[in-house]
Amino acid sequence: MKIGILGGGQLGRMLIQEALKYDDEFYILDPSANCSCANISYFTQGNFNNKQEVIDFGKDKDVVSIEIEHVSVEGLQVLENKGVKVIPNSRIITIIQQKILQKQFYEEFDIPSPAFQIIQSSDEEIVIGFPFVQKLNTGGYDGKGVQIIKAEKDLVNLWDAPSVLENLVDIEKELSLIIAKNEQGEIKSFPVTEMVADPQLNLLDFNISPTQIAEDIQKQIDQIAEKFMKAANSEGLFAIELFLDKNGKVWVNETAPRLHNSGHQSQEGNANSQFEQFYRVLKNLPLADTSSAGFSGMLNLVGEENFSGKVKYKGLEEVLKLPNTYVHLYAKEETKPGRKMGHINVLGNSREELLDQLIVIKSLVKVISE
Amino acid sequence: MKIGILGGGQLGRMLIQEALKYDDEFYILDPSANCSCANISYFTQGNFNNKQEVIDFGKDKDVVSIEIEHVSVEGLQVLENKGVKVIPNSRIITIIQQKILQKQFYEEFDIPSPAFQIIQSSDEEIVIGFPFVQKLNTGGYDGKGVQIIKAEKDLVNLWDAPSVLENLVDIEKELSLIIAKNEQGEIKSFPVTEMVADPQLNLLDFNISPTQIAEDIQKQIDQIAEKFMKAANSEGLFAIELFLDKNGKVWVNETAPRLHNSGHQSQEGNANSQFEQFYRVLKNLPLADTSSAGFSGMLNLVGEENFSGKVKYKGLEEVLKLPNTYVHLYAKEETKPGRKMGHINVLGNSREELLDQLIVIKSLVKVISE
């Protein structure tokens, strides 16, 4: 089967890696000839934000999907009208790629998400209370395009662009749910994962899966997942990023219509990974078992501050000596501060054991330049 | 790092798949433009049996290795003399690729292997007792080039070519040990695997790992492994195929200087797979943990009799519904009777559970043509 993917980054690479167990042909559209997928796929260098390039790329494929949501949905709509299978469908990508539509979508379908105000420019009257989060309508990614406005005096920093202003949640835990649906309507989710963020880089840092949560909280999450999947009305694999607040209430932070960083530990931690599951969605195959025997965790390898250029992974050999430890690099030649260059998965018997090992590993390995 | 591999079949494919966790560039030399590795590597179409083609292919690589032993060792010798790292070294490949040298090697290094006679042609006097196995000196592969001569009257069938004639072992079990050594001299083996062969196709059919054997037998195997690795005197990953006879004695059947079918269940069955281990050997990295929590098994998917042409995997969707079951296909377009097209790994808590599941799977899936 000819599978076309918009985007050739690490998510595409790990999808192809998993799918090498099967017989399909992967076609990748990405602007960079050095992207993580260039040498392991049928590669087209091009702009996935350009309507015509998306149409040209997708028109002869059996299915077209994404590994990044910032793509030309107009191109995908044309492909859908031509009868090409697009997963997830262009409607839900359109909604998710614009923060304003995404918030309105949660509101419309009664999916709990923090109270918000929409602005088109910084001139508008701000009615939401302080502190709040400003999220740019488009262009936000990996913590970019998001800032916290603490008090009246910080309003001078408000970005002058269409945005969502959102109440700050008093966060107890950040959680994530990866959930998949195939064409037959089968739906399966992974165990809920806990994310521990790096406050400085605003990047996902550690994942722990499964998280330990009370039955009531799991129930809230199940309800959110059910409402979301009904409202999304699309095949695909989705990551629902959640806040658990200090009062025990669960809120949707945002959603990604694709493979997600918070599911990477599933590569060794679960009976099947998010990549296997997404592959099965693309092929409309029976969904895979997502259970886990023990606990798994993940640490992102991001470029250190003050290092730019040809990447070097300092301390990696020490990490390779550790048991229950799995290194994943993304074949990116150049590092820069904060760039996601790889991740390391660990397996263990408890949350505490995993955290201890992740902290050791974090101290051992550094992503620097030569 | 530039890693060159002679051969682009499924072993190379699964090596590359595993190594996509890292950052290296894989170069493949194979005569077939449709081979399993062609579209996932830097691919050169060419003849790995041709001395000059091997030299041209390998001279600018950091390391050159094999996924099939029937290659030009003369070419590899030239590369070694030029200072290119060749793993395993050309000496041990030369020995293993010729059955006569291989038998003499076992004899020289006191490695137990069945008594034998060497012949250059069928005219020679046969002194070995009946029944015996004739193994052609070269060209044997996947059960080809091997026949049993039961009695005097069958001597008319004796192939007229340089061969080893070998005493038939009264086999209790066929076993296999996968063992690896890196440049630093670190040596690590996988748990011993039991092979259940298909008498008709003379192909490996089921693997079960670990096998259940008495301490004394494990000790014999450990001694064989130690002698073999000392005598081989080479980095690499090796498969030592063993016979356990009905008297409890272990014999070496033959050895492969490469990744091996009997190690495929390590993909999901062990903490790390034979492919990860071989990759680490190629890079001289610390060897990986090879332990297994439970039992794992493997079933080869081979082309059914009477089907040739574009492959179709009948019943595969049913198999994908089963838990603890992992399908691996080799991206070969055409099936023919007996051709290895893929395999299926299963995980379980006992040998019996695995055998039951493997038999169910075998009845579900058939490799046919469209």
Q: Average of pLDDT values for A42-47?
A: 97
Rounded to an integer, the average pLDDT of A199-224 is 86
From chain B, the residues in CB contact with A321 under 8 A are 286
Single-letter residue type at B2: K
Q: B323: which residues sit within 8 A by CB, 6+ positions away?
A: A271, A289
**pLDDT, tens only, A231-265:** 999 999 999 999 999 999 999 999 999 999 999 99
Confidence class for position B144, pLDDT limits 50, 70, 90: confident
Element spanning A116, H or E: strand A116-119
- B153 interface with A at CB cutoff 8 Å: no
Question: How far is residue A132's CA from residue A116's CA, in Å, rounded to a whole number?
Answer: 9
Query: Where residue B199 falls among pLDDT bands split at 50, 70, 90?
Result: low
Which CATH number does B2-87 carry?
3.40.50.20
Measure the CA angle with vertex A56, ends A55 and A62; round to 5°.
75
pLDDT digits (tens, 9 = 90+) for B228-237: 999 999 999 9
Round to whole Å and give the CA distance between B170 and B130.
13
CATH class of A171-369: alpha beta
- CA-nearest of B25, B64, B97, B14 to B274 is B14
Q: What angle do CA A19, A51, A37 make, to 5 degrees?
A: 25
Q: How far apart are CA A349 and CA A30, in angstroms?
A: 40
Q: Is A312 on the interface with B (CB under 8 A)?
A: no
pLDDT band at residue A141 using 50, 70 and 90 as cut-offs: low
Mean pLDDT computed over every residue of chain B: 95
Please report, in angstroms and rounded to a whole number, the separation of the first and last CA atoms in chain B: 41
3-state secondary structure of A237: strand
**CA dist., res. A149 & res. B61, Å (int):** 54
Distance CA A83, CA A226 (A): 28
Hey, what CATH class is B115-167 in? alpha beta
Q: Is B226 helix (H, G, I), strand (E, B) or coil?
A: helix
pLDDT of residue A142: 62
* Per-residue pLDDT at A198: 62
- Looking at residue A139, what is its pLDDT? 75
Contact A166, A132 (CB under 8 A): yes
DSSP 8-state class, residue B184:
T
Q: What is the mean pLDDT of chain A?
A: 95
Report whether pLDDT(B202) > 70. Answer: no
- Classify A328 as helix, strand or coil: strand
pTM (2 d.p.)? 0.95
Cβ atoms of residues A319 and A325 within 8 Å: yes
Topology agreement, domain A2-87 and domain A115-167: no
For B61-105, the pLDDT digits (tens) are 999 999 999 999 999 999 999 999 999 999 999 999 999 999 999
Phi, psi of A240 (to 5 degrees): -100, 110
Contact B286 A321 (CB under 8 A): yes
Task: Tell me the pLDDT band of A202, cut-offs 50, 70 and 90.
Answer: low
pLDDT more than 90, % of chain B: 92
Structure token pair of residue B138: 């070269």
Work out the angle at residue A47's Cα, subtended by the Cα atoms of residues A46 and A53, and round it to the nearest 5 degrees.
Answer: 80
Q: What distance in Å separates the CA atoms of residue B196 and residue B358, rounded to the nearest whole number?
A: 11
Position B205 confidence tier, pLDDT thresholds 50, 70, 90:
confident
pLDDT class of A143 with cuts at 50, 70, 90: low
Q: Per-residue pLDDT averaged across B310-337, rounded?
A: 96
**A3's tokens:** 């599978």
Q: How is residue B99 written in tokens? A: 């059955």
* From A21, A293, A323, residue closest to B328, measured CB to CB: A21
B200 pLDDT band, cuts 50/70/90, is low
Which SS3 state, helix, strand or coil, does residue A10 take?
A: helix
Token output for A163: 């945005």
Question: For residue A7, how many other CB atoms are within 10 A of its CB?
Answer: 23
More reliable by pLDDT, A195 or B271: B271
Say which residues have a Cβ less than 8 Å from residue A60's Cβ, sequence separation at least 6. Answer: A2
Rounded CA-CA distance B351/B243 in Å is 19
Cβ count within 10 A of residue A120: 12
User: Is a pLDDT exceeding 70 seen at residue A225?
Assistant: yes
**CA–CA min distance B54, chain A (Å):** 22
Nearest to A40 among B40, B320, B327 (CB): B40
Contact A170, A251 (CB under 8 A): no
Tokens (6 digits) for A291: 């259970």
Contacts A271 to B, Cβ<8 Å:
323-324
* Banded model confidence at residue A268, pLDDT cuts 50, 70, 90: very high
Domain boundaries, chain B: 2-87, 115-167, 171-369
Q: Which of B20, B288, B328 sits opposite A13 (nearest CB)?
A: B20
Please give the residue of chain B at the shortest CA–CA distance from A332. B23
Chain A residues within an 8 Å CB radius of B43: none
Of A343-347, B177-181, B351-355, the one with minimum mean pLDDT is B351-355
Instruction: Please say whether the beta carbons of A188 and A270 come within 8 A.
Output: no
Note the pLDDT of residue B139.
75
What span, in angstroms and rounded, lies between the C-alpha atoms of A62 and A55?
13
d(CA A71, CA B300): 41
Q: Do B326 and A21 touch (CB under 8 A)?
A: yes
